[in-house]
Structure 1
Amino acid sequence: MIEILTPAEVTRARDTGALVAHILQTLKERSVVGTNLLEIDQWAKSMILSAGAESCYVDYAPSFGRGPFGHYICTAVNDAVLHGMPHDYSLADGDLLTLDLAVSLKGIAADAAISFIVGESRPAESVALISATEEALAAGIAAAGPGARIGDIAYAIGSVLTEAGYPINMDFGGHGIGSTMHQDPHVPNSGRPGRGYQLRPGLLLALEPWVMVDTDVLVTDADGWTLRSATGCRTAHTEHTIAITDDGAEILTLARG
Protein backbone atom coordinates (compact mmCIF):
# COMPACT_ATOMS: atom_id res chain seq x y z
CA MET A 1 0.00 0.00 0.00
CA ILE A 2 1.20 3.50 -0.89
CA GLU A 3 -0.45 6.02 1.40
CA ILE A 4 -0.86 9.71 0.54
CA LEU A 5 -1.52 11.80 3.65
CA THR A 6 -3.88 14.75 3.85
CA PRO A 7 -2.51 18.16 4.92
CA ALA A 8 -3.98 17.57 8.39
CA GLU A 9 -2.22 14.21 8.62
CA VAL A 10 1.08 15.75 7.53
CA THR A 11 0.70 18.26 10.35
CA ARG A 12 0.32 15.35 12.78
CA ALA A 13 3.32 13.71 11.19
CA ARG A 14 5.38 16.79 12.07
CA ASP A 15 4.51 16.25 15.73
CA THR A 16 5.52 12.59 15.54
CA GLY A 17 8.76 13.45 13.78
CA ALA A 18 9.61 16.09 16.37
CA LEU A 19 9.05 13.54 19.14
CA VAL A 20 11.28 10.95 17.48
CA ALA A 21 14.02 13.55 16.97
CA HIS A 22 13.78 14.72 20.59
CA ILE A 23 13.98 11.19 22.00
CA LEU A 24 16.96 10.27 19.82
CA GLN A 25 18.83 13.44 20.73
CA THR A 26 18.15 12.90 24.44
CA LEU A 27 19.28 9.29 24.26
CA LYS A 28 22.44 10.30 22.40
CA GLU A 29 23.30 12.74 25.18
CA ARG A 30 22.69 10.08 27.83
CA SER A 31 24.67 7.35 26.05
CA VAL A 32 28.10 7.55 27.62
CA VAL A 33 30.82 5.09 28.53
CA GLY A 34 29.28 2.60 30.94
CA THR A 35 25.67 3.08 29.79
CA ASN A 36 23.89 -0.25 29.37
CA LEU A 37 21.84 -0.89 26.24
CA LEU A 38 18.94 -2.04 28.42
CA GLU A 39 19.01 1.36 30.15
CA ILE A 40 18.65 3.05 26.77
CA ASP A 41 15.65 0.86 26.01
CA GLN A 42 13.99 1.76 29.31
CA TRP A 43 14.64 5.47 28.75
CA ALA A 44 13.06 5.20 25.30
CA LYS A 45 10.04 3.40 26.74
CA SER A 46 9.54 6.07 29.40
CA MET A 47 9.79 8.95 26.93
CA ILE A 48 7.47 7.32 24.39
CA LEU A 49 4.76 6.48 26.90
CA SER A 50 4.97 9.80 28.75
CA ALA A 51 4.37 11.58 25.41
CA GLY A 52 1.19 9.58 24.86
CA ALA A 53 2.79 7.81 21.90
CA GLU A 54 3.08 4.15 20.96
CA SER A 55 6.13 2.08 20.09
CA CYS A 56 6.24 0.68 16.56
CA TYR A 57 8.67 -2.03 17.72
CA VAL A 58 7.34 -3.77 20.84
CA ASP A 59 4.78 -5.89 18.98
CA TYR A 60 6.59 -5.80 15.63
CA ALA A 61 6.74 -9.32 14.18
CA PRO A 62 7.65 -9.36 10.46
CA SER A 63 8.53 -12.50 8.56
CA PHE A 64 12.27 -11.82 8.71
CA GLY A 65 12.46 -11.50 12.51
CA ARG A 66 11.89 -13.80 15.45
CA GLY A 67 9.09 -11.68 16.79
CA PRO A 68 7.65 -9.91 18.49
CA PHE A 69 10.67 -7.61 18.91
CA GLY A 70 9.71 -6.81 22.51
CA HIS A 71 11.79 -3.63 22.91
CA TYR A 72 11.25 0.09 22.33
CA ILE A 73 14.36 0.98 20.34
CA CYS A 74 17.00 -0.71 18.20
CA THR A 75 20.52 -0.47 19.64
CA ALA A 76 23.29 -1.62 17.27
CA VAL A 77 26.94 -1.52 18.35
CA ASN A 78 30.04 -1.64 16.12
CA ASP A 79 29.52 -4.56 13.68
CA ALA A 80 25.74 -4.60 14.27
CA VAL A 81 23.81 -2.34 11.91
CA LEU A 82 20.07 -3.15 11.72
CA HIS A 83 17.38 -4.37 14.14
CA GLY A 84 19.84 -4.36 17.03
CA MET A 85 18.05 -5.92 20.00
CA PRO A 86 18.92 -4.24 23.33
CA HIS A 87 20.80 -6.60 25.63
CA ASP A 88 23.05 -6.55 28.67
CA TYR A 89 26.03 -4.68 27.26
CA SER A 90 27.72 -1.59 28.70
CA LEU A 91 29.11 0.89 26.17
CA ALA A 92 32.89 1.33 25.92
CA ASP A 93 34.97 4.26 24.74
CA GLY A 94 35.10 4.31 20.94
CA ASP A 95 32.03 2.15 20.39
CA LEU A 96 30.00 3.08 17.30
CA LEU A 97 26.38 3.09 18.42
CA THR A 98 23.33 3.27 16.17
CA LEU A 99 19.94 4.12 17.67
CA ASP A 100 16.93 3.43 15.44
CA LEU A 101 13.52 4.58 16.69
CA ALA A 102 10.00 4.49 15.28
CA VAL A 103 6.91 5.69 17.15
CA SER A 104 3.30 6.46 16.36
CA LEU A 105 1.55 9.56 17.72
CA LYS A 106 -2.08 10.37 17.00
CA GLY A 107 -2.16 7.64 14.37
CA ILE A 108 0.89 8.71 12.34
CA ALA A 109 4.33 7.07 12.53
CA ALA A 110 7.83 8.49 12.08
CA ASP A 111 11.14 6.63 11.88
CA ALA A 112 14.73 7.84 12.25
CA ALA A 113 18.21 6.56 13.10
CA ILE A 114 21.47 8.12 14.22
CA SER A 115 24.98 6.69 14.44
CA PHE A 116 27.61 8.21 16.72
CA ILE A 117 30.79 7.38 18.61
CA VAL A 118 30.64 6.91 22.36
CA GLY A 119 33.24 8.53 24.62
CA GLU A 120 36.32 10.51 23.67
CA SER A 121 37.86 8.27 21.01
CA ARG A 122 37.29 9.13 17.36
CA PRO A 123 38.41 6.16 15.23
CA ALA A 124 38.91 7.46 11.68
CA GLU A 125 37.13 4.47 10.14
CA SER A 126 34.02 5.10 12.24
CA VAL A 127 34.03 8.83 11.54
CA ALA A 128 34.21 8.13 7.79
CA LEU A 129 31.38 5.58 7.94
CA ILE A 130 29.03 7.91 9.76
CA SER A 131 29.89 10.82 7.47
CA ALA A 132 29.19 8.74 4.36
CA THR A 133 25.71 7.74 5.55
CA GLU A 134 24.88 11.31 6.55
CA GLU A 135 26.05 12.68 3.19
CA ALA A 136 24.14 9.97 1.33
CA LEU A 137 20.98 10.78 3.27
CA ALA A 138 21.35 14.48 2.47
CA ALA A 139 21.77 13.62 -1.23
CA GLY A 140 18.69 11.41 -1.18
CA ILE A 141 16.59 14.12 0.42
CA ALA A 142 17.85 16.68 -2.09
CA ALA A 143 16.71 14.38 -4.92
CA ALA A 144 13.20 14.02 -3.47
CA GLY A 145 10.30 16.21 -4.49
CA PRO A 146 7.03 16.13 -6.44
CA GLY A 147 7.57 14.55 -9.84
CA ALA A 148 10.84 12.86 -8.86
CA ARG A 149 10.97 9.08 -8.81
CA ILE A 150 12.15 6.53 -6.29
CA GLY A 151 15.04 5.70 -8.58
CA ASP A 152 16.27 9.29 -8.37
CA ILE A 153 16.54 9.03 -4.59
CA ALA A 154 18.15 5.59 -4.75
CA TYR A 155 20.68 6.77 -7.33
CA ALA A 156 21.60 9.83 -5.27
CA ILE A 157 22.14 7.75 -2.13
CA GLY A 158 24.03 5.01 -3.91
CA SER A 159 26.31 7.42 -5.75
CA VAL A 160 27.58 8.88 -2.47
CA LEU A 161 28.09 5.49 -0.82
CA THR A 162 29.84 4.04 -3.88
CA GLU A 163 32.08 7.10 -4.24
CA ALA A 164 33.07 6.63 -0.60
CA GLY A 165 34.11 3.07 -1.43
CA TYR A 166 31.49 1.08 0.45
CA PRO A 167 29.65 -2.01 -0.82
CA ILE A 168 25.85 -1.62 -0.81
CA ASN A 169 23.45 -4.26 0.50
CA MET A 170 20.12 -4.20 -1.36
CA ASP A 171 18.13 -6.40 1.03
CA PHE A 172 17.09 -3.57 3.34
CA GLY A 173 16.50 0.09 2.57
CA GLY A 174 14.06 2.93 3.00
CA HIS A 175 10.30 2.69 2.83
CA GLY A 176 7.00 4.47 2.80
CA ILE A 177 5.53 5.37 6.17
CA GLY A 178 2.29 6.86 7.47
CA SER A 179 -0.47 5.25 9.49
CA THR A 180 1.87 2.23 9.79
CA MET A 181 5.65 2.03 10.08
CA HIS A 182 6.51 0.04 6.95
CA GLN A 183 4.69 0.64 3.67
CA ASP A 184 5.40 0.73 -0.03
CA PRO A 185 7.28 2.04 -1.86
CA HIS A 186 10.59 0.38 -1.06
CA VAL A 187 13.54 2.79 -1.43
CA PRO A 188 16.77 0.88 -2.14
CA ASN A 189 20.12 2.45 -1.33
CA SER A 190 21.20 2.25 -4.96
CA GLY A 191 19.28 2.42 -8.21
CA ARG A 192 18.73 3.97 -11.60
CA PRO A 193 17.42 7.53 -12.01
CA GLY A 194 14.10 8.06 -13.68
CA ARG A 195 12.74 4.69 -12.58
CA GLY A 196 10.07 3.67 -10.10
CA TYR A 197 7.13 5.31 -8.39
CA GLN A 198 6.64 9.03 -9.01
CA LEU A 199 6.54 11.07 -5.81
CA ARG A 200 3.44 13.10 -4.87
CA PRO A 201 2.76 15.69 -2.17
CA GLY A 202 1.55 13.96 0.99
CA LEU A 203 3.82 10.93 0.57
CA LEU A 204 5.99 10.16 3.60
CA LEU A 205 9.27 8.28 3.13
CA ALA A 206 11.79 6.97 5.62
CA LEU A 207 15.17 7.14 3.87
CA GLU A 208 17.95 5.15 5.52
CA PRO A 209 21.43 4.78 4.03
CA TRP A 210 23.50 2.19 5.90
CA VAL A 211 26.84 0.63 5.08
CA MET A 212 29.47 -1.82 6.26
CA VAL A 213 33.18 -1.18 5.75
CA ASP A 214 34.17 -4.14 3.61
CA THR A 215 31.14 -6.33 2.87
CA ASP A 216 27.54 -6.26 1.73
CA VAL A 217 26.71 -9.53 3.50
CA LEU A 218 24.70 -9.66 6.73
CA VAL A 219 24.51 -12.36 9.38
CA THR A 220 21.79 -12.72 12.01
CA ASP A 221 22.44 -13.09 15.74
CA ALA A 222 20.99 -15.92 17.79
CA ASP A 223 18.33 -13.46 19.02
CA GLY A 224 16.77 -13.75 15.56
CA TRP A 225 16.84 -9.99 15.02
CA THR A 226 20.21 -8.28 15.22
CA LEU A 227 21.91 -8.03 11.81
CA ARG A 228 25.71 -7.77 11.71
CA SER A 229 28.40 -7.50 9.07
CA ALA A 230 29.54 -10.94 7.97
CA THR A 231 33.20 -9.97 8.38
CA GLY A 232 32.88 -8.28 11.78
CA CYS A 233 33.67 -4.88 10.29
CA ARG A 234 32.10 -1.70 11.60
CA THR A 235 28.84 -0.31 10.30
CA ALA A 236 26.76 2.88 10.34
CA HIS A 237 23.13 3.82 9.66
CA THR A 238 21.44 7.21 9.34
CA GLU A 239 17.71 7.78 8.72
CA HIS A 240 15.14 10.55 8.44
CA THR A 241 11.42 10.58 7.73
CA ILE A 242 10.54 13.15 5.08
CA ALA A 243 7.28 14.48 3.67
CA ILE A 244 6.97 15.27 -0.02
CA THR A 245 5.58 18.79 -0.32
CA ASP A 246 4.42 20.92 -3.24
CA ASP A 247 7.93 22.32 -3.69
CA GLY A 248 10.35 19.72 -2.32
CA ALA A 249 10.86 17.54 0.72
CA GLU A 250 10.49 18.44 4.39
CA ILE A 251 12.55 16.61 7.01
CA LEU A 252 10.18 15.66 9.83
CA THR A 253 12.71 14.03 12.17
CA LEU A 254 15.30 16.82 12.29
CA ALA A 255 16.49 17.66 15.81
CA ARG A 256 15.55 21.15 16.91
CA GLY A 257 17.81 23.45 18.90
Structure 2
Amino acid sequence: MFNLQGKTAVVTGGGSGIGKAIALTFAAQGAVVHIIDLNKTAADETAAAINSNAVAHACDITSQQAVKDAFSAIGPFDILVNSAGIAHIGKADTTDEADFERVFNVNVKGTYNCLHEAIGVFRKKGGGVILNVASIAALVGIPDRFAYSMSKGAVYAMTLSVAKDYLKENIRCNSISPARVHTPFVDGFIAKNYPGKEKEMFDKLSASQPIGRMGSVNEVAALALYLCSDEAGFISGNDYPLDGGFVKLNN
Protein backbone atom coordinates (compact mmCIF):
# COMPACT_ATOMS: atom_id res chain seq x y z
CA MET A 1 0.00 0.00 0.00
CA PHE A 2 0.92 3.68 -0.44
CA ASN A 3 3.32 2.83 -3.25
CA LEU A 4 4.56 5.90 -5.14
CA GLN A 5 6.58 4.02 -7.74
CA GLY A 6 6.39 5.81 -11.08
CA LYS A 7 5.27 9.10 -9.51
CA THR A 8 7.10 12.39 -9.30
CA ALA A 9 6.58 14.72 -6.35
CA VAL A 10 7.51 18.35 -5.76
CA VAL A 11 7.98 19.32 -2.10
CA THR A 12 8.49 22.96 -1.16
CA GLY A 13 10.39 23.66 2.04
CA GLY A 14 11.96 20.23 1.59
CA GLY A 15 15.29 21.27 3.02
CA SER A 16 14.22 20.98 6.65
CA GLY A 17 11.55 20.03 9.16
CA ILE A 18 8.22 18.71 7.93
CA GLY A 19 9.07 19.20 4.27
CA LYS A 20 12.27 17.19 4.60
CA ALA A 21 10.45 14.34 6.36
CA ILE A 22 7.82 14.28 3.60
CA ALA A 23 10.49 14.23 0.89
CA LEU A 24 12.33 11.34 2.57
CA THR A 25 9.11 9.37 3.11
CA PHE A 26 7.90 9.83 -0.47
CA ALA A 27 11.27 8.75 -1.82
CA ALA A 28 11.27 5.67 0.43
CA GLN A 29 7.94 4.72 -1.18
CA GLY A 30 9.40 4.97 -4.66
CA ALA A 31 8.71 8.53 -5.80
CA VAL A 32 11.17 10.74 -7.62
CA VAL A 33 11.27 13.83 -5.41
CA HIS A 34 12.11 17.39 -6.39
CA ILE A 35 13.05 19.42 -3.34
CA ILE A 36 12.40 23.15 -3.52
CA ASP A 37 13.92 25.36 -0.87
CA LEU A 38 15.27 28.89 -0.55
CA ASN A 39 18.34 27.36 1.11
CA LYS A 40 20.06 25.34 -1.64
CA THR A 41 22.51 23.79 0.82
CA ALA A 42 19.65 22.39 2.88
CA ALA A 43 17.88 21.14 -0.25
CA ASP A 44 21.10 19.46 -1.38
CA GLU A 45 21.44 17.72 1.99
CA THR A 46 17.93 16.29 1.72
CA ALA A 47 18.60 15.16 -1.84
CA ALA A 48 21.88 13.54 -0.75
CA ALA A 49 20.04 11.63 1.97
CA ILE A 50 17.65 10.30 -0.66
CA ASN A 51 20.32 9.55 -3.26
CA SER A 52 19.45 8.94 -6.91
CA ASN A 53 15.70 9.64 -6.73
CA ALA A 54 15.95 13.30 -5.72
CA VAL A 55 16.82 16.65 -7.26
CA ALA A 56 17.38 19.87 -5.29
CA HIS A 57 16.25 23.26 -6.57
CA ALA A 58 16.98 26.67 -5.08
CA CYS A 59 13.81 28.73 -5.45
CA ASP A 60 12.24 31.76 -3.81
CA ILE A 61 8.57 30.83 -3.86
CA THR A 62 7.54 34.45 -3.24
CA SER A 63 8.49 35.11 -6.88
CA GLN A 64 6.04 33.68 -9.42
CA GLN A 65 8.68 33.82 -12.13
CA ALA A 66 11.12 31.86 -9.98
CA VAL A 67 8.47 29.19 -9.36
CA LYS A 68 7.61 29.12 -13.05
CA ASP A 69 11.27 28.59 -13.94
CA ALA A 70 11.71 25.86 -11.33
CA PHE A 71 8.59 23.97 -12.41
CA SER A 72 9.61 24.30 -16.05
CA ALA A 73 12.97 22.73 -15.22
CA ILE A 74 11.27 19.92 -13.32
CA GLY A 75 8.82 19.03 -16.10
CA PRO A 76 5.71 16.88 -15.54
CA PHE A 77 4.96 15.78 -11.99
CA ASP A 78 2.12 14.08 -10.13
CA ILE A 79 2.17 15.49 -6.59
CA LEU A 80 2.70 18.95 -5.12
CA VAL A 81 3.27 19.42 -1.40
CA ASN A 82 3.21 23.05 -0.25
CA SER A 83 5.20 22.76 2.96
CA ALA A 84 7.37 25.91 2.83
CA GLY A 85 6.41 28.45 5.47
CA ILE A 86 7.63 30.79 8.18
CA ALA A 87 6.33 31.71 11.62
CA HIS A 88 5.93 34.97 13.50
CA ILE A 89 5.20 35.93 17.11
CA GLY A 90 2.91 38.89 17.70
CA LYS A 91 -0.59 40.31 18.08
CA ALA A 92 -2.37 42.59 15.62
CA ASP A 93 -1.00 45.76 17.26
CA THR A 94 2.51 44.41 17.83
CA THR A 95 3.04 43.03 14.31
CA ASP A 96 4.68 45.62 12.10
CA GLU A 97 3.93 45.97 8.42
CA ALA A 98 7.22 44.49 7.24
CA ASP A 99 6.75 41.30 9.27
CA PHE A 100 3.12 40.99 8.20
CA GLU A 101 4.10 41.26 4.54
CA ARG A 102 6.99 38.82 4.97
CA VAL A 103 4.69 36.15 6.43
CA PHE A 104 2.06 36.83 3.78
CA ASN A 105 4.56 36.64 0.94
CA VAL A 106 5.97 33.26 1.97
CA ASN A 107 2.96 31.46 3.41
CA VAL A 108 0.15 32.85 1.25
CA LYS A 109 1.66 34.20 -1.95
CA GLY A 110 4.22 31.41 -2.06
CA THR A 111 1.50 28.78 -1.83
CA TYR A 112 -0.54 30.62 -4.46
CA ASN A 113 2.45 30.82 -6.81
CA CYS A 114 3.00 27.07 -6.60
CA LEU A 115 -0.70 26.33 -7.07
CA HIS A 116 -0.84 28.72 -10.02
CA GLU A 117 1.96 26.91 -11.82
CA ALA A 118 1.03 23.35 -10.81
CA ILE A 119 -2.55 23.46 -12.09
CA GLY A 120 -1.37 23.75 -15.69
CA VAL A 121 1.07 20.87 -15.21
CA PHE A 122 -1.67 18.65 -13.80
CA ARG A 123 -4.15 19.66 -16.49
CA LYS A 124 -1.74 18.48 -19.19
CA LYS A 125 -1.21 15.18 -17.34
CA GLY A 126 -4.91 14.62 -16.79
CA GLY A 127 -4.80 14.99 -13.02
CA GLY A 128 -2.67 15.37 -9.92
CA VAL A 129 -2.60 15.68 -6.16
CA ILE A 130 -2.00 18.79 -4.04
CA LEU A 131 -1.34 18.77 -0.31
CA ASN A 132 -1.03 22.04 1.60
CA VAL A 133 0.47 22.26 5.07
CA ALA A 134 -1.83 24.54 7.06
CA SER A 135 -1.98 24.66 10.88
CA ILE A 136 -4.36 24.40 13.79
CA ALA A 137 -3.86 28.19 13.89
CA ALA A 138 -6.24 28.24 10.91
CA LEU A 139 -8.92 26.54 13.00
CA VAL A 140 -8.68 27.94 16.53
CA GLY A 141 -7.34 31.06 18.22
CA ILE A 142 -3.67 30.83 19.16
CA PRO A 143 -2.17 33.57 21.37
CA ASP A 144 0.40 35.89 19.79
CA ARG A 145 0.17 34.35 16.31
CA PHE A 146 -1.79 37.02 14.43
CA ALA A 147 0.12 37.07 11.11
CA TYR A 148 0.82 33.34 11.17
CA SER A 149 -2.84 32.53 11.86
CA MET A 150 -3.88 34.86 9.03
CA SER A 151 -1.57 33.09 6.61
CA LYS A 152 -2.58 29.56 7.56
CA GLY A 153 -6.25 30.51 7.46
CA ALA A 154 -5.61 31.56 3.87
CA VAL A 155 -3.91 28.24 3.11
CA TYR A 156 -6.93 26.39 4.50
CA ALA A 157 -9.32 28.48 2.39
CA MET A 158 -7.19 28.02 -0.74
CA THR A 159 -7.33 24.27 -0.18
CA LEU A 160 -11.13 24.27 -0.28
CA SER A 161 -11.25 26.59 -3.28
CA VAL A 162 -8.79 24.57 -5.36
CA ALA A 163 -10.49 21.29 -4.44
CA LYS A 164 -13.85 22.67 -5.62
CA ASP A 165 -12.60 24.31 -8.81
CA TYR A 166 -10.58 21.39 -10.19
CA LEU A 167 -12.36 18.29 -8.92
CA LYS A 168 -13.73 17.46 -12.37
CA GLU A 169 -10.22 17.75 -13.83
CA ASN A 170 -9.04 14.89 -11.61
CA ILE A 171 -7.04 17.21 -9.36
CA ARG A 172 -7.38 16.46 -5.66
CA CYS A 173 -6.45 19.00 -2.98
CA ASN A 174 -6.31 18.51 0.79
CA SER A 175 -4.47 20.02 3.73
CA ILE A 176 -2.92 18.94 7.01
CA SER A 177 -3.17 21.18 10.08
CA PRO A 178 -0.49 20.18 12.57
CA ALA A 179 -0.33 21.35 16.15
CA ARG A 180 3.18 21.80 17.58
CA VAL A 181 5.63 19.51 15.83
CA HIS A 182 9.15 19.03 17.18
CA THR A 183 11.52 20.45 14.58
CA PRO A 184 14.87 22.26 14.74
CA PHE A 185 12.86 25.48 14.39
CA VAL A 186 11.13 24.79 17.73
CA ASP A 187 14.45 24.15 19.47
CA GLY A 188 15.90 27.34 17.97
CA PHE A 189 12.85 29.38 18.94
CA ILE A 190 13.04 28.19 22.55
CA ALA A 191 16.78 28.78 22.79
CA LYS A 192 16.45 32.30 21.37
CA ASN A 193 13.46 33.45 23.40
CA TYR A 194 13.88 31.52 26.67
CA PRO A 195 17.63 31.17 27.36
CA GLY A 196 18.25 29.12 30.47
CA LYS A 197 14.66 27.87 30.51
CA GLU A 198 14.82 25.57 27.51
CA LYS A 199 13.61 22.39 29.24
CA GLU A 200 10.85 24.21 31.12
CA MET A 201 9.50 25.80 27.93
CA PHE A 202 9.85 22.59 25.93
CA ASP A 203 7.78 20.75 28.54
CA LYS A 204 5.22 23.57 28.62
CA LEU A 205 4.81 23.60 24.84
CA SER A 206 4.59 19.81 24.80
CA ALA A 207 1.87 19.83 27.45
CA SER A 208 -0.29 22.21 25.41
CA GLN A 209 -1.35 19.20 23.35
CA PRO A 210 -3.80 17.04 25.34
CA ILE A 211 -1.85 13.95 24.31
CA GLY A 212 1.07 15.38 26.33
CA ARG A 213 3.75 15.77 23.69
CA MET A 214 4.59 17.44 20.39
CA GLY A 215 4.08 15.63 17.14
CA SER A 216 6.97 14.27 15.11
CA VAL A 217 7.80 15.20 11.54
CA ASN A 218 7.50 11.53 10.61
CA GLU A 219 3.91 11.45 11.84
CA VAL A 220 3.09 14.37 9.56
CA ALA A 221 4.90 12.68 6.69
CA ALA A 222 2.93 9.46 7.19
CA LEU A 223 -0.37 11.31 6.87
CA ALA A 224 0.97 13.21 3.87
CA LEU A 225 1.90 9.92 2.22
CA TYR A 226 -1.60 8.57 2.65
CA LEU A 227 -3.31 11.70 1.34
CA CYS A 228 -1.05 11.81 -1.74
CA SER A 229 -1.36 8.11 -2.51
CA ASP A 230 -3.86 6.34 -4.74
CA GLU A 231 -5.43 4.83 -1.62
CA ALA A 232 -6.79 8.33 -0.81
CA GLY A 233 -8.28 8.75 -4.28
CA PHE A 234 -11.77 9.40 -2.85
CA ILE A 235 -10.60 12.28 -0.65
CA SER A 236 -10.55 15.94 -1.70
CA GLY A 237 -11.41 19.23 -0.06
CA ASN A 238 -10.58 18.11 3.46
CA ASP A 239 -8.32 19.38 6.21
CA TYR A 240 -6.81 16.97 8.70
CA PRO A 241 -5.84 18.28 12.16
CA LEU A 242 -2.79 16.32 13.31
CA ASP A 243 -2.86 17.80 16.75
CA GLY A 244 -2.76 15.38 19.66
CA GLY A 245 -6.35 16.37 20.48
CA PHE A 246 -5.67 20.13 20.55
CA VAL A 247 -8.67 21.34 18.55
CA LYS A 248 -11.40 19.12 20.02
CA LEU A 249 -10.08 18.10 23.43
CA ASN A 250 -8.31 21.22 24.71
CA ASN A 251 -11.01 22.63 26.99
TM-score norm. by structure 2 comes to: 0.26
Q: Which has the higher strand share?
A: 1
Q: Which fold has the larger relative contact order, with Cα–Cα distance below 8 Å and residues 6 or more apart in sequence?
A: 1
Q: Which has the higher helix share?
A: 2
